[in-house]
Chains A and B, each alone.
Chain A
Amino acid sequence: MLEAVPASPASASLWDEAFLAQTRRDMTRFADLQLRDRAAAEDAVQEALAEALAGAGRFSGRAALKTWIFAILRHKIVDTLRSRRRSINISSLVSDDEASDDFDALFDHTGHWQADEAPRTWQDPEASLAQQQFWAVFEACLNRLPDNTARVFMMREHLGFETEEICNELAITANNCWVILHRARLQLRICLEKNWFAGEATPC
């Protein structure tokens, strides 16, 4: 059980039990999404919280505090990804349930988009970025990605993870890497179109 030891009396009020519990839940959810490994996620959260509590005294408001905590958590997640990527099972990167056949079905025998699968026009996607509900849908779509696909896709979006770095460290060819990223984008696109931009309430 983590003991809260605020660095100064002023910060004691920021760390009431409810805030700490909620923050920990949020952090775990964020770490889970990217690491897809509950034990690793909890380790990252534990370390991040320990660091955060040590330095919390400089903050007078929860918004700034939470931003800073998440910055620390991101570093922990990136460290974990760096140290663990050598142990990611290579064969599982191109496993059966992530077979490219699924996405070959998006195209007909001439290589054109199937009528139902052709990307539709999204109305003002930028405006969606300001809507809380959009982000909930986006997070849900990220969650639906298979674990290895998700990890590679999110590694790509972190600072310092160039494609070459991801691929070299995972000892897969650049081509395999691009295939994985392409699958991630295809799947995310479908999920967002069905659940947000097409205006249908039916989950995919």
Chain B
Amino acid sequence: MLTCKQAAALLSQSQDRRLVLRERLALRLHLLVCDACRNFQRQVDFLSRTGRQFLGRGVPPSF
């Protein structure tokens, strides 16, 4: 069973590479029982979208 520390690292990496089946399954199991890591997953996705919107097309939103 993954620890939160391991799950968080995998969740971060899932933004940058394809996880292998073993990793995806282990992650899914952990996320079933861990609210904090589910939050982390949502927040990492959000950070990605936010970063892309800030750096992407148009004038950056705070400018």
Q: Which residues of A contact B (CB under 8 A)?
A: 26, 29-30, 34, 63, 66-67, 70-71, 74, 104, 106-107, 110-113, 118-122, 125, 129, 132, 135-136, 138-139, 142, 153-154, 156-158, 163, 174, 177-178, 181-182, 185-186, 188-189, 192-193
Interface string of B17-59 (1 = CB under 8 A from A): 1000000000000000001110110111011111111111111
Given contacts A138-B50, A185-B44, contact A71 B12 (CB under 8 A): no
The answer on a CB contact under 8 Å between A153 and B53 is: no
Inter-chain CA distance A110–B4, complex, in Å, is 9
**CB within 8 A of B51: which of A30, A70, A119, A153?**
A153
| Interface secondary structure of A, over-half rule | helix
How many cross-chain pairs have Cβ atoms below 8 Å apart between A and B? 110
Given contacts A119-B40, A122-B43, A154-B51, contact A139 B62 (CB under 8 A): yes
Q: How far is the CB of B30 from chain A (nearest CB, A)?
A: 11
Inter-chain CA distance A192–B48, complex, in Å, is 13
Given contacts A107-B4, A110-B3, contact A178 B63 (CB under 8 A): no
Inter-chain CA distance A163–B14, complex, in Å, is 11
* Inter-chain contacts of A157 with B (CB < 8 A): 48, 51-52, 54-56
Inter-chain CA distance A156–B16, complex, in Å, is 9
| Residue of B with least CB distance to A153 | B51
